Structure 1
Amino acid sequence: MAFSSSLLSHLFLSLFLSLLLSFPFSSAEIRFSEIRSDGRSIIPFDEFGFTPTGRLELNVSHISLSNPSPDLDLSQMGFFLSTRDSWIHVLNQIQDLDITCVLQSDLIKVVYTFNNLAGNSSFNSLFKEPDAGQFTLVFANCLPQIQVSMDVCSAMYNLEGKNTRRDYLSAGKTILPRVYFLFFLIYSSLAGLWIYLLNKNRLTVFRIHFFMLAVLLLKALNLICEAEDKSYIKRTGSAHGWDVLFYIFSFLKGISLFTLIVLIGTGWSFIKPFLQDKEKKVLMIVIPLQVVANIAQVVIDESGPYAQDWLTWKQVFLLVDVICCCAVLFPIVWSIKNLREAARTDGKAAVNLMKLTLFRQYYIVVICYIYFTRVIVYALVTITSYRYLWTSLVAGELATLAFYVFTGYKFRPEVHNPYLVIDDEEEEAAAEALKLEDEFEL
């Protein structure tokens, strides 16, 4: 009976690790982790894409066990590397009772087991990984009655070039500094073009246009900080403070983008100089949720999956992000509904309905943008080979760029503003089109 309970515990925690492996971790680097009185059978750390010159440096200190005794089999506690495919086979081995401890499997790569401590409370290990692949560093504890405390410093990197420089970015992310810098140049160019349009069409510039410029600038600053962040990690294994700037601008960019979508959806400054109470409530919901989402993102990136609350924060982030994405759609729907009702009661409003079919287009584009960046990109991360992990990130950035370009082009300042310029022929054509649309619906 005790063996069955142990087996169920192993299976549960193995499934837990499999769930963790389905999430894309943050970029691997030199990471310091503190484990305190942890009784988990499986503690995942970092995931990394190794080349044939991959290395793992593991420095573990202040190791202490609860209820230690001389007869403990410490070979059942230690660190190992595993790929996702190998882990699935290990689960089958445990289920078929071929093994009772993960460290007994020949499908994983054992880095260090505690029976080699020889009474010491610390160890240093350099593990050379000759096989290219995506590996996860994991600690296994197959002694359910024992809790472990330790300080773990892990560094995973690949050697490149004749001088064997260390590259602390995963094999699938090593070109990200250049990718983010390229997108920074693109957004900086768009910001310059937007400033030119604002100066050229000063008479038709609304407040929303200046807000759109701010969103562009924040996105550009976010990208340059991310490029520098990844560049320092690539060379040194540490962000050297660039991660702080990245989180700040990421926070401001996220809030400003969601706010912009809400403001455009309400027609603020284009159609009306104020927001209704229900529209203000949407902003009051979205902005605090964005604060929570950014806090969750910082915790996820900085703590890593070894933290006991990591999965909880991940779920909080996903839930809050979904709520924000749904909330920003309501103002667009309300605007379309109000314009349609006005068009049915006021002949002069018919052309507004025809001109503001742009709201329908914008609604569809926002949905496509949210779906692609939240679902398609995530799917690409899970199915793409670790060598080409950068392609999913590029796909997400291209989708974001397309959304920014569409928004800027459709809502740019113009001398003949489609919201304001109305002639009699357009009015009659719009009214006739609306009448035909009503007959078609009937």
Structure 2
Amino acid sequence: MDLPPLYLALFLFLSISGAFAEIRSTEIRSDDRPIIPLDEFGFTHMGRLELNVSKISLSTDNPDLDLSKVGFFLCTRDAWFHVIQQLEEREVTCALKSDLVKHVFTFNNLKGDKSSFDTVFTENDADQYSLVFANCLQQVKVSMDVRSAMYNLEKKSGRRDYLSAGKTGLPKVYFFFFLVYFFLAGTWIYVLYRKRLTVFAIHFFMLGVVVLKALNLLCEAEDKSYVKRTGSAHGWDVLFYIFSFLKGITLFTLIVLIGTGWSFLKPYLQDKEKKVLMIVIPLQVVANIAQVVIDETGPYGHDWITWKQIFLLVDVICCCAVLFPIVWSIKNLREAAKTDGKAAVNLMKLTLFRQYYIVVICYIYFTRVVVYALETITSYKYLWTSVVAGEVATLAFYIFTGYKFRPEVHNPYFVVDDEEEEAAAEALKLEDEFEL
């Protein structure tokens, strides 16, 4: 067997998210890949795998084929690294021949001319496992329909839990954060009512962002709860994708609007700032399409890794794009402040925006890099901690934004009185002397 496809498979293994936990149906047609990762799941000591495969056909009728080299197995990530070493050192010629994998079913066990089989595999060794199909026959293509269901049995009730061991508590986590955002929305409505004389349009936009975030969490909580009980999202995933899409667009738009000073510094957007929004919004559409494909198809698809890369690339571009308006605003007002006394006031405001700029960078870095790193290095039993870390960081960012840009008469982001104007002018004068 050639090693390059195996290295690609290893890359797929390491890229798989623990999200693939529900009942999954897969159609494989004329596929000659030696390794096809199908799903990943965290088993407890009472784990089960139900595998139903039908319409099995091979591209050749050669009766001398060694069908023990074709089949399904379970493997942990650590074990897979050792399997790769065994293949490199020629200790084994096929992953199915390694003693480090757990055979679920090999095609040599097919009886007669049967083109289907059903099996239930009991897994009592708690760990994170990947379900993999291996085809070690050169130039032989396989077609089949695969239905896999991985779950754990609850100790007391014996009921099935289709969520991975490290994510079985996510419905409660998401519902808790929904309640928090619901409370924040109510608090923000109260603030807007109390300070209605100093409310700007962007404050209502902030309210919309919080409401959409709350609805997104509610749908995600129900989605995960339904998957936990039945193994299928049954439509809740559609609502989740809708609110996730709206939440993503409105959050990035809010950061752009705040960064440009729209509504409270100026009532309009410049052409280049409008272009940022025209770039970010379509990219969010692409990102959400990629997310749907990633979640719904799973790693067995030929284009799964491509969509994964598209999603990561688009997400990075969006995160970078929303930072430009803040930089532009600070730069433009700094130049204008040198010749315009009033601009010195705006310079003080935009200097305050530097703090927000730093917070935005920290938020993006933490939620895109640190949270992913946590998910990668954390034990499968504690995968929920990466979700909590991401949600806490997002909540902190929302609260910081709301507090700093709250509707207050003396909020330095909105109003600068005469004394502050003189202080700004003096600060500008001292800065010029220092530069000289």
Does TM-score exceed 0.5, indicating one fold? Answer: yes
- Contact 2:344-2:421 at 8 Å conserved across structures: yes
Distance 2:264 2:287 in 1: 30
Distance 2:100 2:415 in 1: 71
Query: What is the aligned counterpart of 2:274 among 271, 280, 296?
Result: 280
Cross-structure match for 1:141: 135
2:20–2:298 Cα contact (<8 Å) kept: no
Name whichever of 226-235 and 161-170 sits farther off. 161-170
Q: Secondary structure at the match of 2:383?
A: helix
> Which position in structure 1 is the counterpart of 2:12?
20
CA shift digits 1:110-161 (9 cap, x unpaired): 1000001122100001000010000000000000211001110000000113
Q: Secondary structure at the match of 1:292?
A: helix
SS at match of 1:164: coil
1:302-321 equivalences under 5 Å are: 302-321=296-315
What is the CA-CA distance between 1:193 and the residue it aligns to? 0.6
Q: How does 1:32-181 map to 2 (within 5 A)?
A: 32-118=25-111, 119-181=113-175
- C-alpha displacement at 1:163, in angstroms? 2.3
- Asked if the contact 1:81–1:108 (Cα under 8 Å) also holds between the matched residues in 2, the reply is yes
Matched residues in 2 for 1:369 and 1:22: separation?
25
CA contact 1:204–1:417 (8 Å) conserved in 2 = no
Contact 1:286 1:327 in 2 (8 A): yes
Q: Which residue of 1 aligns with 2:361?
A: 367
User: What secondary structure, in the 3-state scheme, does the structure 2 residue paired with 1:398 have?
Assistant: helix
Distance 2:418 2:24 in 1: 68
Structure 1 residues 352-374: Cα deviation after superposition (integer angstroms, max 9, x where no partner):
21233221011111111110011
Query: 1:145 & 1:172 partners in 2: Cα distance?
Result: 39
Change (3 A) 1:50 1:440: farther
> So what's the TM-score if we normalise by structure 2?
0.98
Inter-CA distance 53–441: structure 2 relative to 1 (3 Å threshold)? farther
Q: Contact conserved, 2:71 with 2:107, CA < 8 A, in 1?
A: yes
Matched, 1:194 2:172: no
SS of match in other structure, 1:356: helix
Output the CA distance in 1 between the equivalents of 2:109 and 2:391.
47
Deviations 1:1-53 (A, max 9, x none): xxxxx3xx2x2122112211222242411011110111100000111000010
Percent identity, aligned pairs only?
A: 77
Mapped to 1, the partners of 2:200 and 2:296 lie a distance apart of 40
Normalising by structure 1, we get a TM-score of 0.96
Alignment pair present for 1:270 and 2:247: no
Mind listing any 5+ residue stretches in structure 1 that lack a counterpart? 1-5
**1:56–1:127 contact (8 Å) kept in structure 2:** yes
Q: What is the CA RMSD across the aligned residues, in angstroms? A: 1.1
Question: Counterpart amino acid of 2:108?
Answer: N
- Secondary structure of the residue aligned to 2:326 is helix
Whole-angstrom CA distance in 2 between matches of 1:184 and 1:20: 33
1:305 and 1:25, CA in 2 relative to 1: closer, same or farther beyond 3 A?
farther
Aligned to 2:217: 223
* Distance in 1 of aligned mates of 2:416 and 2:214: 37
**CA apart distance, 1:440:** 3.9
One-letter identity of the residue aligned with 1:28: A
